[in-house]
Structure 1
Amino acid sequence: MSDGYSDDGLLAYKTPYPPSLPANEPNWEQSKAYGSRRTPTGFAVRKLNFNDPTGQGKFKNQDWPFEQRLGYPSTREGWHPLIFKYGLEVLDAAGFINFETTKPHTYNPNGYWESKRNRSGLLAERIHPVLRKEMWHLFTDEEYKTITPALLLATAILDDPVMLCLFYALSRPTDQLTTFEDPHLGTCKKLDIPATLTEQEQWEVHEKLCAMREWTSFRWDNSQIFVDSGSLAATTPDCALGRDIPASGS
């Protein structure tokens, strides 16, 4: 977004672009012949020379040493397509395997607004205010720690400028709705999502998301509601917290 951050080619948060094979090698069955290394935005890829005595897979001296092998780790059938294409080493380097919240990790997701709200550099303040510890009713510190990697990724999504465009439209339905006639359904409404937002509009919708803290909390629940509805999560009135919140379904 031109008004939100500099157009330097970097992502708004730190989930890297996946590796891609050269145009003359579009078949991922050949991915094991390639190696990769991390770049600021993703992975550089080059073919490997398996006869290189240095073990660095070089064809010539100026070739960079590879850091990850692409492709599936063995010839056993039935690998998941993601592992078949990228391999476990690439997925690990991208931050999707065995993520440890207690160790610094260059490539774990950073929300777009994280630097603006986190002056102290604390892990807890990297998480979106709507998802922080105090919002998870009766969670222990250990339980919250187990979901921290997922919350960091959710923060990156909530903070993404493109996603803010959607929330902006949702928060202004009278301005962003178009009515049209469908031959089968009759009168319908379409949400018009702006392609970009000014920085002021981004702040506006970000603050509206943060205001959800006044009306939202999360908790584990063994309620029969999940059995009855076949759902994994549900929204219900939370009278226990002294808040009068209307239920909105599962």
Structure 2
Amino acid sequence: YLSHTKLSLYSTFHVLAGTESSSIRQESGLMSANVGDTLVLHCFHESDMAVLFSWYKQTLGDKLQLFSTVNKYDRNATFYHEFKDNPRFSVENGQEKNHLRISDMQLSDSGTYYCGSSYSNKMEFGEGAILIVKDPLLLVYCLGVALALLFILIIVLACIMYKMYKRKCRGKLLKSFVSQTRGPTVSQSDAGAQDGDSLHYVALNLSNNKNRSRRQRNTMEEETVYSGIRQ
């Protein structure tokens, strides 16, 4: 019978975990349960030499922690650390079995559980069972929050689109009003043509005015000469 002190120093022992030579047959793989459920982790041992059986728990990011131990000749298991004196945990021992029962499950019960046995300087472990505890109410709450955020996002997008549409309509109305006030728009090519025609027209007027002034001056000179001759 190994004392608890020796179990806490199990790294100094020869350990067999999940190998063919191990006599531990543990229910392994991924297991899931809801908060408040009751679950039994099954473990069987086939060695007549083992006298002490144990359970270990390992949570993500933490080291392996001793959960419970029970002697082959004792029906009552001993629990350690935060599992001590907790009525939610119990062990069914005897007839080559070491089953761990967890009732009223909590989220903190999630982790990997290893069943072990020990004799002399040899320890054996099962492959480990990964237990995930879910909270349906928490899931419903998260979905509700997600739906609320999605609804708010839809409202915000609708407001933005409405403002953009309103601004666009206002711009069209302003452009229409300006075009009606200023009259029809003229393209750059047409404006250039009109400017050229205007310059040509001005040049013709200036030329005509010069010719008219010259004729008037000649007429006045002729009349002055004629008047002088008559006198």
* Max Rg structure: 2
Higher helix share: 2
TM class by shorter-chain length?
Answer: under 0.3
Give the structure, 1 or 2, with the largest relative contact order (CA under 8 Å, sep 6 or more). Answer: 2
